[in-house]
Each structure stands twice: as C-alpha cells, then as structure tokens.
Amino acid sequence: MGGAHYPVASYGFSQEFGDYLRNLPLEPGRGTIVGRTLLEVGPVQVADVLGDPEYTMSEGQRLGGFRTVLGVPLLREGSPIGVLALTRSTVRPFTEKQVELASTFADQAVIAIENVRLFQEVQARTEELSRSLKDLRTAQDRLIQAEKLQLSYKAAGDDRRFYFEKCCRKRVLTSNSKTEKTSPTPDQTQWLNTHNGERPD
C-alpha cells in the first residue's frame, strides 16, 4: 500500500491541470482523494472538497475546478495498485449505484492490467527461451563442425598411412627387383668371396 502513485491518464481536464498532476506524487494520506483511497483500501467520496478540512490539494482543486470527488481502488489480491478518481465540478455526490458501477469498472481495469502484465511476462520468457534455443543451436552447430573436422583429420591420417605403407611396399619390391637384375655372375661371386684386395686378372 505504501509508496507514491503518479497519474497516468486523465480525461476532461485542462492541459494546465494535466501538467500539474504529471509530476505530483500521491501517497497514502488524508490530503487527497487518491491518498485517502489508498489509505482506506476502499471507495471514498468527498461531497465537497472545499468543505473538507482534511483535503489539502487546494492548487489541484483550483486548476481542476472540481467540487465532488470519488476514489475507487484498483485492487490486486487485496492490495491497491492504483486508484480510479472521478470528479464533478458541482457539489453532487455519487449515488450508491454509481459507486458500485465505478467499483466494477475498477475491477475490470485490474483484470486488463493483470492480463497485460502476464502477457509481457510470457513474452519476455518466450524471448528468453528463444535466445537460449539459439545459443543451444549455435553450440550444437559448433560441436558438429568440430566432429566433422576431427573426422576429416582422421581420414587424412588414414590416407597418409595408406600411402606411406604403399610406398614402402613399392620400395621393397623395387629393391628386390634391382637386386635380382644386378646379381653377380659366378666368377664375380667367386671373386667377391675369395679376394680381399686387388681383383685377379
């Protein structure tokens, strides 16, 4: 219930009165219709503000030109979140039926405000989930790319190993072939086996 309230909309008043209200903090108390409604947490009517010694917003009354005022709280779970204020420029109190109608309107206003609040919360949550999903997809894409890169390295390694083994086999076969082609004759073999020096004529 505590805390200042600020007017957010008005109808039927002068621009000067609107400018006056715009920066006017209205707190629970007996000096204004809004403050008194917040204090009592129920509908409050002042038949003539000029005849009410507790009403202290004289400058607002002068600019607004009102005499009879009615305040109806906007209640959410029993706590006021705002006030619907109605005024009359003449001393003409609101009837009980009119007060009930204003209270019903205030209840509908709270439902509308609550729906907007819930919608904004859901929208914010949806945006948060969308960002989380986007981050998750980005991380998943990076993981997939890393796995593909790892597989590419492995495939390249297998190719290099296969090429190396193939080259080694070719080298062995080539060496064996050259050995067979250059095998010494029997005389050369005899010389190689029996002489350790100059070759005989």
Euclidean distance between CA atoms 110 and 92, whole angstroms: 27
Locate 49 and state its tokens.
């503000």
Q: Which of 42-46, 66-70, 138-142 has the lowest mean pLDDT?
A: 138-142
What pLDDT is stored for residue 146 in this prediction? 79
Could you tell me which residues are beta bridge partners of residue 76? Answer: 79
Provide the 3-class DSSP secondary structure of residue 153.
Answer: helix
pLDDT band at 155 (very low <50, low <70, confident <90, very high): low
Greater model confidence, 89 or 117: 89
pLDDT tens for 83-97 read 999 999 999 999 999
Residue with tokens 């009517």: 45
Mean pLDDT rounded to a whole number for the chain: 80
- Between 133 and 80, the more confident residue is 80
pTM: 0.60
158 confidence band (pLDDT: 50, 70, 90):
low
- What's the alpha-carbon Rg for the chain, to the nearest Å? 48
Q: What are phi and psi of 87, to 5 degrees?
A: -135, 160
Position with higher pLDDT, 168 vs 182: 168
